[in-house]
Amino acid sequence: MRVIPFAKRTLKEILRDPLTLFFGLGFPCVLILLLSAIQVNIPVELFAIELLAPGMTVFGLAFMTLFSASLIAKDRESALFLRLYATPMRAVDFILGYTLPMLPIALAQSVFCFVLGAFLGMQVTVNMLGGLLCLLPVSLFFIGMGLLFGSILNQKQVGGICGALLTNLTAWLSGIWFDLDLVGGTFKKVAEVLPFYHGVKLVQAVIAGQFNGIGIHLAWVLGYVVVSITIAVVLFLRQMRKQ
């Protein structure tokens, strides 16, 4: 039961940071609006709202890594952590306390993007619920990465790695901004072995009601979820011992 008060604290710390609201909820919505405006003037198949909204939702989830890692890195450098380590809290309380509150934030962000997508013409169907369900493992992957990076990087490094590198990797290698076939070669092969592309394809397909072939995308994403969370837990426990 120690998880709940600590999770509440995580939620408050994140939601009281104005940057979270901007990047978490505002930024993906701004991008959807901007690219939809471009789409009106210069139609591009990739920016059709049925593809754009799920794609930007996945991109927006990359910020979950930044929020989570920033908080953990900040905590690790603070005396509050020392205080909490000297209480009966166990490692599992810390891990769940950091990860569980990220799920409602991720869900809220996804719902915001879908509602905006619907407002801009995306067909409202029951498949949207399926899309939200498929965003769950994608969210877990990014949250796991937050725990991982937060356990090994300091605050400044988190800003660079999670704020700049990971978000850019998500953008470039997911096929949201440009068709990966246009680049092809090694770039496409690399994109196909990373989870970003599969996350986007999975959600886009489910929303479109095209369930054939989603298994492979789901498998890639779930695989990355298991790997990222396992490594994150190992690294978190290691830093706890070192602390």
Partner 1 sequence: MEAIRIQNLTKIYKDTVAVDSLELTIHTGELFALLGINGAGKTTTIKMLACLSKPTAGDAYVMGKSVSKESQLVKSMIGISPQETAVAPNLTVLENLELMCGVYAYDQVDRKERIAELTRQFHLEPILTKRAGKLSGGWQRRLSIAMALVGQPQILFLDEPTLGLDVIARSELWDTIRALKGNVTIILTTHYMEEAENLSDRIGIMKNGKLIVQGTAEELKRAAGKEIFEEAFVALVKGEIV
Q: Are 49 and 117 in contact (CB under 8 A)?
A: yes
Q: Please tell me the distance from the alpha carbon of residue 217 to that of residue 108, in angstroms, as a whole number.
A: 23
Return the residues of window 110-169 that contact partner 1 according to CB under 8 A. Answer: none
Q: Please tell me the distance from the alpha carbon of residue 114 to that of residue 49, in angstroms, as a whole number.
A: 10
User: E strands, the chain, where?
Assistant: none
SS3 49: helix
Q: Are 69 and 146 in contact (CB under 8 A)?
A: yes
Instruction: Decide: is 189 part of the binding site for partner 1 (CB under 8 A).
Output: no
**Taking phi first (over 0 means left), then psi (-120 to 50 degrees means alpha), and beta for anything else, what does residue 133 get?**
alpha
With contacts defined by CB under 8 A, name the span among 9-17, 101-109, 127-135, 202-210 that binds partner 1. Answer: 9-17
Dihedral angle sign, alpha carbons of residues 77, 79, 81, 82: positive
Residue 80 vs 219, nearer CB to partner 1: 80
Residue 81 CB, shortest distance to partner 1, in Å, is 8
Residue 185 vs 241, nearer CB to partner 1: 241
Instruction: Decide: is 238 part of the binding site for partner 1 (CB under 8 A).
Output: no
Q: Name the DSSP class of 96.
A: H
Residue 2 vs 188, nearer CB to partner 1: 2
Residue 186 vs 243, nearer CB to partner 1: 243
Contact code string over 64-103 relative to partner 1, x by CB under 8 A: --------------xxx-xxxxxxxx--------------
Contact positions vs partner 1 (CB under 8 A): 1-2, 4-6, 8-9, 12-13, 16-17, 78-80, 82-89, 243
